[in-house]
């Protein structure tokens, strides 16, 4: 069968899986088609660090043989995907997005890569990222081994970080899905900027064995795709307790909720404060999204977040843990090899944090967890405008563009809560806007069901960026 025409690469994971089983395409055709598309478009995007062509064709061929023999590993069998370059891949370099590690090769796959392989997925490449996932401070989009990733909606705009390549590749239809990671914002923000759907799972839901550690108590791996349905399929493949990761949880993922159940979820609305120069079109897009949910039967009500210094606590925890995680780079002087000129300041700055501050942040974390446990006994999910702005320019300081606070992201990451970003319209600049859906710990199914419900009554997730058209 000839390589997949680009139209097939527009399909979602679920649709591709159906086409494979209907005999309308094959894993090899999908892989070859995606590789050709990557070759054509990636030079404009910088979405990949490494293309794993040989592995992809070998895995696609194996999937084809297994499916022909009647062994079906599930919806990801034969489906192409990418992995953020902070998860280890045996025999393929894993750079963590940093020049310091540009030639490093691990001899074993990360658990999440192994699980995707066992689900029959086909690894097409390692996705570009901000160096060390932003763990040492950055203020430029080019703070990456591969330079700035560019947004398929406008290549003069950035994808956000740190899962930059995962966002660009999925939005441009180079891949239907990719692994991302989030410590604070690194799945949600690229998903929002790139107009795709991304899930930050509950802390511990996905094993981090073989993944770069930036913040031991806040790092999460999660799926980035074009729909909530695909994120759910990918989470089912990625999730599960791993004895090699002591922080991975035993809680079962539970069953998938249907759309009728989703329409009955108790949904709270959190109103994100509009910054002085905020684009009103984003707040209008969120209101329109709420109308869509109401039409689907949801009866959302206003809600407030717990009044605790949660963003401050999250920040202090990441400052302390990030400095500890990368201490050797400072001790060895290699910090000067980082692309962002501000990186050498991260460790010295961390010295302001006392042990008592870290413990206080961890106590506030406890208080916040208790408060959210109470919140999510009354609400199944809380929805909010995802970000108060659209994609920033590639050039210039990021701090000149980003404004406002992130109460949903700060509190959700502090407490290890799942958050789903779904496209919900466009800003006045024509760039994607997003809604974020947060649910209680271990309750990804609720956020995902609400996301599927929203996407059943809206079509923002089907919109294609100009580069992908």
* Residue 161 touches other proteins, criterion: CB under 8 A: yes
Active site residue 446: no
Q: Which x/- pattern over 22-61 shows residues binding other proteins (rule: CB under 8 A)?
A: ----------------------------------------
Single out the residue of 61, 217, 288, 456 in contact with other proteins (rule: CB under 8 A): 217
* Residue 402 touches other proteins, criterion: CB under 8 A: yes
Cβ contacts of 399 within 8 Å, gap of 6 or more: 139
Separation CA 344–CA 436 (nearest Å)? 33
* Residue 398 touches other proteins, criterion: CB under 8 A: yes
Beta strands in 63-148 (DSSP E): 80-84, 122-127
* Residue 399 touches other proteins, criterion: CB under 8 A: yes
Single out the residue of 377, 405, 428, 469 in contact with other proteins (rule: CB under 8 A): 405
# of chain residues touching other proteins (CB under 8 A): 65
What is the enclosing helix (H) or strand (E) of 157? strand 154-158
Q: What is the DSSP letter of 419?
A: E
Single out the residue of 3, 33, 120, 134 in contact with other proteins (rule: CB under 8 A): 134
Q: How far is CA 250 from CA 155, 212, 257, in A?
A: 42, 22, 20
Residue 424 sits at the vertex; the CA angle it makes with 421 and 429, to the nearest 5 degrees, is: 110
* Residue 212 touches other proteins, criterion: CB under 8 A: no
* Residue 384 touches other proteins, criterion: CB under 8 A: no
Q: How far apart are the first and last CA of the chain?
A: 24
Rounded to a whole number of angstroms, the minimum distance from the CB of residue 71 to other proteins is 38
- 404 burial level (CB within 10 Å; 0-12, 13-18, 19+): middle
* Residue 406 touches other proteins, criterion: CB under 8 A: yes
For other proteins, the closer CB: 80 or 222: 222
Task: Exactly one of 144, 162, 191, 384 is catalytic; name it.
Answer: 162
* Residue 465 touches other proteins, criterion: CB under 8 A: no
Active site residue 411: no
What phi and psi values does residue 220 have, to the nearest 5 degrees? -140, 145
Separation CA 169–CA 468 (nearest Å)? 10
Separation CA 388–CA 279 (nearest Å)? 8
Task: Exactly one of 166, 186, 350, 434 is catalytic; name it.
Answer: 186
DSSP lists the bridge partners of residue 89 as 92
Q: Which x/- pattern over 295-324 shows residues binding other proteins (rule: CB under 8 A)?
A: ------------xxx-xxxxxx-xx--xx-
Active site residue 186: yes
Rounded to a whole number of angstroms, the minimum distance from the CB of residue 358 to other proteins is 8
Q: How far is CA 341 from CA 137, 161, 337, 347, in A?
A: 9, 17, 9, 13
What is the enclosing helix (H) or strand (E) of 302? strand 301-302
Q: How far is CA 467 from CA 17, 45, 167, 190, 327, in A?
A: 25, 10, 14, 17, 40
* Residue 351 touches other proteins, criterion: CB under 8 A: yes
Single out the residue of 146, 186, 191, 434 in contact with other proteins (rule: CB under 8 A): 186
* Residue 362 touches other proteins, criterion: CB under 8 A: yes
Q: How far is CA 277 from CA 177, 280, 402, in A?
A: 34, 9, 11
* Residue 290 touches other proteins, criterion: CB under 8 A: no
Rounded to a whole number of angstroms, the minimum distance from the CB of residue 48 to other proteins is 20
Q: Is 151 helix (H, G, I), strand (E, B) or coil?
A: strand
For other proteins, the closer CB: 60 or 305: 305
Q: Which two tokens stand for residue 199?
A: 């899930």
Rounded to a whole number of angstroms, the minimum distance from the CB of residue 159 to other proteins is 11
DSSP lists the bridge partners of residue 435 as 385, 422
Single out the residue of 28, 52, 151, 183 in contact with other proteins (rule: CB under 8 A): 183
Residues recognised as catalytic:
84, 162, 186
Q: Would you tell me which residues interact with other proteins (CB under 8 A)?
A: 130, 132-139, 160-162, 181-186, 189, 214-215, 217, 307-309, 311-316, 318-319, 322-323, 342, 344-346, 348-353, 357, 359-367, 369, 398-399, 402-406, 409-410
């Amino acid at each position: 069968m000839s390589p997949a025409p680009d139209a097939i690469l527009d399909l979602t994971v679920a649709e591709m899986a159906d086409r494979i089983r209907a005999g309308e395409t094959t894993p090899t055709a999908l892989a070859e088609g995606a590789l050709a598309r990557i070759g054509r478009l990636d030079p404009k995007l910088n979405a990949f660090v490494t293309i794993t062509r040989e592995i992809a064709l070998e895995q696609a061929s194996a999937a084809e043989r297994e499916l022909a023999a009647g062994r079906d590993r599930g919806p990801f069998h034969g489906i192409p995907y990418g992995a953020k370059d902070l998860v280890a891949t045996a025999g393929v370099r894993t750079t963590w997005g940093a020049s310091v590690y540009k030639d490093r090769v691990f001899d074993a796959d990360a658990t999440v890569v192994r699980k995707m392989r066992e689900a029959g997925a086909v690894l097409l490449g390692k996705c570009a990222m901000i160096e060390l996932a932003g763990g040492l401070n950055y203020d430029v989009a080019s703070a990456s081994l591969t330079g700035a990733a560019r947004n398929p909606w406008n290549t003069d705009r950035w994808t956000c970080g740190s899962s930059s390549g995962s966002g660009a590749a999925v939005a441009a239809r180079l891949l239907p899905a990719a692994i991302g990671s989030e410590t604070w914002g690194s799945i949600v923000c690229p998903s929002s900027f790139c107009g795709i759907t991304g899930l930050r799972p509950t802390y511990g839901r996905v094993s981090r064995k073989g993944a770069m550690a930036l913040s031991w108590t806040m790092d999460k791996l999660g799926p980035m795709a074009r729909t909530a349905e695909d994120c759910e399929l990918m989470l089912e493949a990625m999730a599960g307790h791993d004895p090699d990761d002591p922080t991975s949880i035993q809680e079962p993922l539970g069953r998938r909720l249907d759309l009728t159940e989703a329409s009955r979820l108790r949904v709270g609305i959190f109103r994100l404060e509009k910054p002085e120069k905020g684009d009103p079109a984003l707040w209008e897009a969120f209101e329109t999204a709420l109308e869509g949910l109401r039409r689907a039967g949801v009866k959302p009500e206003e809600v407030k977040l717990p009044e605790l210094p949660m963003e401050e606590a999250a920040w202090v925890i990441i400052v302390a843990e990030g400095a500890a995680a990368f201490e050797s780079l400072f001790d060895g002087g290699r910090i000067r090899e980082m692309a962002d000129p501000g990186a050498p300041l991260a460790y010295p700055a961390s010295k302001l944090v006392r042990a008592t501050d870290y413990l206080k942040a961890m106590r506030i974390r406890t208080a916040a967890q208790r408060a959210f446990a109470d919140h999510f006994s009354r609400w199944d999910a809380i929805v909010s405008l995802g970000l108060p702005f659209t994609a920033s320019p590639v050039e210039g300081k990021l701090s000149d563009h980003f404004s406002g606070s992130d109460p949903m992201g700060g509190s959700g990451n502090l407490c290890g809560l799942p958050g789903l970003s779904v496209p919900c319209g466009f800003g006045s600049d024509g760039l994607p806007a997003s809604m974020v859906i947060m649910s209680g710990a271990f309750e990804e199914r609720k956020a995902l069901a609400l996301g599927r419900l929203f996407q059943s009554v809206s079509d923002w997730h089907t919109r294609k960026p100009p580069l992908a058209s």
